[in-house]
């Protein structure tokens, strides 16, 4: 009798377990992985990659480095600004951001940081890779469909495919993972400019206002996810060290350095940090504004911020704001101007360049902060403008349709010198 009861109990348990398992068929974003081994053996230099989806830009020593979003970096010779020539392509899966100190280019590759020797820009060489330095993120996906389960052990996700799948429905139901891509060029990602300065004997490149990587003294600063600022000691390229991680509120997006101060743009404000101790930037103040995407550039005691609405940052207004930063502990807004679709911007000797996306590029005389939009110098409306780097007489601009070089030595006759157009993808 006891044996019969035991057998019945086992049978009941098996039936119950089977009944507890429920399955559902649905259409979802299914991840496409590459293994960590494949990722870390992917570095390659070629010469035939076309410009399809341009991202961040960085300039140093007559070469422009143009990110091909999530794929790598184009090396472009600008010795003749009227004839930019693509000379090499550095294959870096997952690349979005970059910065340069001396002859080392620092680039992200999904969760890794690559150190690339560009002593000869035509023959870049990987010299070090810091694995798992950054958080695990994923590329954009179709928000009309849920995400399939993410398995980080399989590698990094390079794309998604929409397809029908059958998955077990757990009790409680399996919670869909929430992942974000904060480095996408489509959404968001300098010696005198964009803050690559400091450090006797060091040389630096020049980045745009949408940068999330920047170098200063012996440090590389990176913005990670929505809140984390990392300070990485790069004085020893054999062993870069994370010296500090700190949290800044407001969905941090862009980073700029002027003098000994760092300016971090967020969706809710602009943070000002002191770099007197480069290993640990000290928060001095935060200028708060409406919710919107927020790149920032600085010229003397004035900061210029563009606020863009209608995107993942939120907000409903498109503005250019001018902020008095003479007192770094009490930044004060001077004036706001209505804009159309502002993205990146640049300032050089009171000449302000504002990218307006599909509405092109606008150039203003910003000598009088209270009359900027009344003093428009030029407008180029037949192009797409995302970010700019102004350098003395040359303006480098990147947009969805390509890379542009302008000569603004004569502000009464700003002229287009050369271009690298985007080649439509066959995919």
| pLDDT tens readout for residues 366-420 | 999 999 999 999 999 989 999 999 998 999 999 999 999 999 999 999 999 999 9
pLDDT digits (tens, 9 = 90+) for 24-43: 899 999 999 999 999 999 99
For 341, the 3-state DSSP assignment is coil
* Mean pLDDT, rounded, for 281-294: 82
Q: How confident is the model at residue 195 (pLDDT cuts 50, 70, 90)?
A: very low
Distance separating alpha carbons of residues 295 and 264, to the nearest angstrom: 8
Q: Report the C-alpha gap between 41 and 314 in whole angstroms.
A: 39
Domains and CATH numbers, the chain: 37-135+182-421 (2.130.10.10)
pLDDT in the model for residue 315: 58
pLDDT band at 427 (very low <50, low <70, confident <90, very high): low
| Statement: residue 184 has pLDDT above 60 | no
Specify whether the CB–CB gap between 162 and 27 falls below 8 A. Answer: yes
Alpha helices, DSSP H, located in 29-176: 36-39
Over residues 159-181, mean pLDDT: 64
- Token pair 């030595």 is found at 409
pLDDT at 20: 59
Residue 92, classified by CB atoms within 10 Å of its CB into exposed (0-12), middle (13-18) or buried (19+), is buried
What is the percent of the chain where pLDDT is above 70?
Answer: 84
Strands (E), 44-190: 44-46, 54-60, 63-68, 72-77, 85-91, 98-101, 104-109, 112-117, 125-130, 156-169
* Banded pLDDT at 293 (limits 50, 70, 90): low
pLDDT at residue number 373? 96
Residue 137's pLDDT is 85
Rounded mean pLDDT of 122-150?
92
pLDDT category at 171 given cuts 50, 70, 90 is very low
Residues 320 and 305 sit within 8 Å (Cβ to Cβ):
yes
Token readout for 351 is: 């000449």
Which residues, 6 or more positions from 186, have their beta carbon under 8 angstroms from its beta carbon?
Answer: 69, 140
Q: Which residues contact 95 (CB under 8 A, 6 or more apart)?
A: 67, 68, 70, 71, 72, 73, 107, 108, 109
How high does pLDDT run on average in the chain?
86
Q: Residue 202: which pLDDT band, with cuts at 50, 70 and 90?
A: confident
Residue 181's Cβ-side half-sphere holds a number of Cα atoms within 13 Å equal to 21
pLDDT given at position 170: 60
- The pTM of this model reads 0.86
- Cα distance between residue 223 and residue 114, in whole Å: 16
Answer whether residue 2 shows pLDDT above 90. Answer: no
- H or E stretch covering 44: strand 44-46
Token pair belonging to 256: 């700029």
Contact partners, residue 119, CB within 8 Å, separation at least 6: 103
**Nearest-5° angle of CA 404, CA 409, CA 413?**
80
Question: What percentage of the chain has pLDDT greater than the value 90?
Answer: 72
Rounded to an integer, the average pLDDT of 44-73 is 95
Strand ranges of the sheet holding 252-258, from the earlier edge strand across to the other edge: 252-258, 261-266, 269-274, 282-288
Express each pLDDT in 343-381 by its tens digit: 999 999 999 999 999 999 999 999 999 999 999 999 999
How far apart CA 165 and CA 63 sit, in angstroms, is: 47
């Amino acid at each position: 009798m006891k044996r019969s009861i035991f057998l019945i109990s086992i049978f009941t348990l098996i039936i119950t377990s089977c009944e507890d398992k429920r399955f559902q068929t649905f259409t979802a974003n299914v991840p496409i992985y590459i293994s960590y081994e494949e990722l870390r053996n992917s570095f390659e230099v070629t010469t035939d990659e076309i410009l399809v989806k341009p991202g961040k830009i960085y300039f140093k020593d007559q070469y422009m480095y143009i990110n091909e979003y999530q794929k790598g970096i184009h090396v472009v010779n600008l010795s003749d600004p009227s004839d930019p020539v693509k000379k090499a392509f550095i294959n870096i899966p997952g690349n979005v951001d970059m910065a340069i100190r001396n002859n080392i280019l620092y680039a992200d590759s999904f969760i890794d940081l690559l150190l690339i020797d560009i002593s000869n820009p035509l023959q870049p060489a990987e010299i070090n890779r810091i694995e798992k330095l950054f958080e695990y993120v994923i590329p954009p996906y179709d928000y009309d469909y849920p995400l399939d389960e993410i398995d980080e052990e399989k590698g990094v996700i390079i794309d998604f495919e929409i397809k029908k799948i059958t998955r077990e429905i757990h009790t409680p139901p399996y919670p869909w993972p929430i992942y974000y891509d904060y480095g996408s060029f489509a959404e968001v990602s300098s010696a005198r400019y964009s803050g690559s300065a400091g450090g006797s004997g060091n040389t630096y490149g020049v980045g745009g206002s949408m940068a999330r990587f920047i170098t200063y003294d012996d440090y590389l600063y990176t913005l990670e996810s929505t809140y984390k600022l990392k300070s990485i000691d790069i004085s020893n390229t054999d062993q870069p060290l994370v010296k500090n991680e700190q949290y800044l509120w407001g969905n941090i997006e862009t980073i700029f350095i002027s003098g000994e101060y760092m300016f971090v743009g967020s969706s809710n404000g602009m943070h000002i940090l002191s770099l007197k101790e480069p290993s640990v930037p000290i928060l001095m103040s935060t200028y708060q504004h409406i919710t919107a995407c927020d790149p920032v550039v600085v010229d003397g005691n004035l900061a210029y911020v563009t606020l863009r609405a209608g995107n993942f940052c939120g907000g409903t207004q498109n503005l250019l704001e001018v902020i008095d930063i003479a007192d770094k502990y009490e930044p004060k807004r001077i004036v706001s101007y209505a804009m159309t679709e502002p993205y990146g911007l640049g300032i050089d000797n009171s000449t302000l360049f504002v990218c307006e996306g599909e509405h092109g590029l606008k150039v203003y005389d910003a000598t009088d902060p209270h009359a900027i939009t009344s003093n428009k110098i030029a407008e180029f409306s037949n192009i797409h403008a995302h970010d700019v780097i102004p350098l003395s007489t040359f303006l480098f601009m990147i947009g969805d349709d390509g890379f542009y070089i302008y000569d603004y030595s004569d502000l009464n006759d700003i002229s287009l010198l050369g271009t690298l157009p985007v080649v439509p993808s066959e995919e």
